[in-house]
Amino acid sequence: MSSTDPADDDSRNESARTKRSQDQGWRPTHAAEASSGVDISIPYSNPPTDRLMAFYAQWAERYDADLIDTYGYMAPSDAVAGLMQLDLPHDAAILDAGCGTGQAGTLLAAAGYNCVDGADLSAEMRAVAARHNVYRDLFEMDMTAPCGPQLAARNGGARYDAVICVGVFGFGPPHVDDLPRIMDAARPGAPVLITVNGKGWDLRGWDDCLMPVLEAAGIRLAARTRIRHMVAEGVHAELLDLRRG
């Protein structure tokens, strides 16, 4: 009778989990016409962070045209409209987390908010965002790492009156387990509005895992609203209003 090393079982189980995670991707139907030479399915396949950053570096210059013109990307518009309904003063300090090329920041500026900072891990995306001249500050931030120390290094640890994060969560990275990290950027009780890609919500099982993550971190789900995401693909998003403290 042969024996089995438990470590071998753990290795096989981890490989199986990785394989399932990689299988849980999604490819937009308009990918071929909007890819601009990049594989548009990469951000929907749970890639490692370095591969994801290489993808966005290549896509940055065509990002807005592809998303808006080809996919009918409406998540920034609907998320900013949701933030405006909270009646924040126009001088509220707002962090656009995962700001990308600045779509949400541009809409916030047009609505009269004049103290908006942008943060994104991709230098190439931030470079495009800077051209809009709507951000008070633009800096690098990794939402898979604790945000408190990153903000302390940037602005002395000052927290924001509101945080908006559009088009970042859904497939990962970052993942649902990273939600408590971004909460550290907001002052206690401040709204943190996050969109979650509806396809990613289903494929990654957010219905099952969201509330346990929030409850363990002392985060309250103040509201959950279905909004538009990529209209041409028939994909919606969930807009989460999170509060802590």
Judge whether 112 lies within some domain: yes
Confidence (pLDDT) at 24: 55
Q: Counting beta carbons within 10 angstroms of the beta carbon of residue 15, is it exposed (0 to 12), middle (13 to 18) or buried (19 or more)?
A: exposed
Judge whether 5 lies within some domain: no
Q: Is 1's pLDDT higher than 60?
A: no
Q: Is 167's pLDDT higher than 80?
A: yes
Confidence (pLDDT) at 19: 36
Confidence (pLDDT) at 127: 98
Residue 214's region, left for phi above 0, alpha for psi from -120 to 50, else beta, is alpha
Taking residues 147-169, what's their average pLDDT? 94
Output the average pLDDT for the chain. Answer: 87
Confidence (pLDDT) at 33: 55
Confidence (pLDDT) at 31: 58
pLDDT in tens, 5-29: 444 444 443 333 333 344 456 666 6
- How many structural domains are present in the chain? 1
Judge whether 128 lies within some domain: yes
Q: Is 84's pLDDT higher than 60?
A: yes
Question: Quick one: pLDDT band at residue 36, thresholds 50, 70, 90?
Answer: low
Q: Is 162's pLDDT higher than 50?
A: yes
Judge whether 43 lies within some domain: no
Q: Range of 73's domain?
A: 69-244
Judge whether 200 lies within some domain: yes
Question: Quick one: pLDDT band at residue 51, thresholds 50, 70, 90?
Answer: confident
Q: pTM for the whole thing?
A: 0.86
Judge whether 100 lies within some domain: yes
Judge whether 25 lies within some domain: no
Confidence (pLDDT) at 232: 92
Specify whether the CB–CB gap between 227 and 83 falls below 8 A. Answer: no
Judge whether 55 lies within some domain: no
Taking residues 76-102, what's their average pLDDT? 98
Taking residues 74-79, what's their average pLDDT? 98
Confidence (pLDDT) at 7: 43
Q: CATH no. for residue 118?
A: 3.40.50.150
